[in-house]
Amino acid sequence: MQAQPFQLQRQVLGALPIFDPVIERIGLLPCLTQALGQARYAEAILLLLKNILVERQALYAIRQWTAPYDPALVYGGKYGDDVLARALDRLFESDRASVWCWPRSGPMRWI
C-alpha cells in the first residue's frame, strides 16, 4: 500500500476575502500605521475591525476566532488580547480625526 503524501487541512474563508480588497483600496493599513506608529498595531486594529464585521467576538476570544481561518486573512492569527489592547490604547491616544482623513481625497470617491 502506498503512503499518502497529502494532508487535508480545513480552513474557513467566510466573508473575509471580501473585506481585504476594500481595506487595501482605501489605504486603511498605511493610514493606521502612520497614526499608530507601528504596522503591528495597525494590523491588530484591522483584525478587530474584521472581527466586528464578521462575527463580533470578545477581545479575549480573538485568537480562538482566528484559528479556523486562513492565516493570510487574519494576519497570521498571531495577535492575542494583550497586543489588541495595546493597539486600542495607541488608537485612543492618537489623533483619531486624522486617522479617518484618508490619504487619497476620500474613500467614497470610487464606491
CA nearest 45: which of 1, 11, 94? 94
As for how many domains the chain has, the answer is 1
pTM of the model: 0.77
How much is the pLDDT for 46?
93
The answer to the question of residue 88 being in a domain is yes
The answer to the question of residue 1 being in a domain is no
Domain that holds residue 71: 42-93
Low-confidence ranges of the chain (pLDDT < 50): 105, 110-111
The answer to the question of residue 19 being in a domain is no
The residue whose grid cell reads 467614497 is 108
Sequence-distant (≥ 6) Cβ neighbours of residue 46 within 8 angstroms: 23, 28, 29, 32, 75
Which amino acid is residue 47, in one-letter code?
L
